[in-house]
Structure 1
Amino acid sequence: MADKISIEGIAYIVERIVERAREAAVESRGDRKDSFKDGRALAYYEVLDILRTEFDVREVSLDRIGLDFDLERELL
């Protein structure tokens, strides 16, 4: 098992989370009365927001890992 992960590996993981987050946002917008779908979309948003903050503090390029977009506009 690797002790460290590359930026490319992190970018791949983030890409998968972003893809699911976008799907959850679309589902939530399609049925605003479904609290589960709304909560799922919000949870993905929160995970990505935490990742963005942590990478920003560590001066990791958000562009390199695929988090260089407006989370609020796209996911909420």
Structure 2
Amino acid sequence: MADNISIDGIAYIVGRIVEKVREAVKESKDDKKDSFKDGRALAYYEILDILRTELSVREISLEEIGLDFDLEKELL
């Protein structure tokens, strides 16, 4: 088992999460009455927000990871 993960590995994982959050946001907007779908989209947003904070603290480029966009504007 690898002890460290590369920036490319982190970027791949983040990309998968971003893909899923965009799907969840679309589903939530398409069915505004379904609180589960809304909660799912918010949970994904919170995951990306935590990742963004932790990567910034470690001085890892958000652009290189694929998190250099306005989370609130795009996902809320």
Q: Sort the TM-score into its range (normalised by shorter chain).
A: over 0.9
**TM-score under structure 1 length normalisation:** 0.98
Moved over 2 A (4+): none
Inter-partner Cα distance in structure 2 for 1:30 and 1:72: 18
Amino acid at match of 1:7: I
Give me the whole-angstrom Cα distance separating, in 2, the residues matched to 1:5 and 1:58: 14
What is the alpha-carbon distance in structure 2 between the residues aligned to residue 21 and residue 69 of structure 1? 13
Which TM-score applies when normalising by structure 2?
0.98
RMSD over aligned CA atoms reads 0.5
Structure 2: runs of 5+ lacking an equivalent:
none
Aligned pairs, how many?
76
Identity among equivalent pairs (%): 78
Aligned runs of 1:7-18 on 2, under 5 Å? 7-18=7-18
Query: Where do 5+ consecutive residues of structure 1 fail to align?
Result: none
Q: Which whole-Å deviations, capped at 9, do the CAs of 1:9-57 have from their partners, x for residues lacking one?
A: 0000000000000000000011111000000000000000000000011
Please report how far the alpha carbon of residue 73 of structure 1 lies from its aligned counterpart in structure 2 after TM superposition.
1.1
How far apart, CA to CA, are the structure 1 residues paired with 2:71 and 2:50?
11
